[in-house]
Amino acid sequence: MDESNPLNDLHFLRDVVARTQPPAVNRFWSVTLMWGCVVTIGFIGCALLGIEGKMAVLPWVMPGLIFLVAWPLHWYLQRRVRWSIEASGVRPRFRRDLMWCWISISGMGLLWTAGLIVSGLITSHGYLLTFAWCSLLCVGYVMNGVLLSKEWFWAAAVMLASIIAAFLAGFLTGQPDFYWFAGYGVPVTFLLAGILGRRNARSRIIEA
């Protein structure tokens, strides 16, 4: 075959473009859906404890769910998905770019949290913590949409809409309690990304 054939260059460019495009299906949708369920349970549990006045227990609800429930399930489900991918004859690729993206986002969120605690603003302006984490999650969702799968763009749109709605409600009414509304977008976005990922995966199987 003649290597100078323009068709060879065209095929090469198509291969490069295909490799740089995010996958059409997120095979790890079950992990995302699990995080959505755990975070939703955490938000509901915190709300019920707050209504009953058990404020001393509140700080331990989300850390307990994340470290004792979510991370073991994350490891288990991720291993199962990797095994299923390997069984189909494809070797799963470790996404270092995605890993460093979320490490950076988590680091910035923790620094912002530490800054609010050290400065003492956490008591009077705690809603700033919600805005900071929701904004960072919105950026992370966009990166997931670019690097992982496209349903994360919908999650980013919902998160941005919740931030804007919370800000406008708090600004127009002058009630700081409305600023916390942005935090309720977190479980919704994880559930949305998981459900859309499951739907896309099932539709791809049916098409195949």
Answer for the pair 35, 82: CB distance below 8 angstroms, yes or no: no
Rounded to whole angstroms, what are the CA distances from 149 to 64, 134, 141?
A: 29, 20, 10
Q: What is the pTM of this model?
A: 0.80
- One digit per residue, the tens of pLDDT, for the chain of length 208 reads 445 555 555 555 555 544 555 556 778 899 999 999 999 999 899 888 878 888 778 778 888 998 899 999 999 999 999 888 788 776 766 678 888 888 999 899 889 888 888 888 877 787 888 899 999 999 999 999 988 888 999 999 999 999 999 999 988 888 877 888 898 899 999 999 999 999 888 776 554 4
Closest of 195, 110, 183 to residue 152, by C-alpha: 195
Amino acid identity, residue 176?
Answer: P
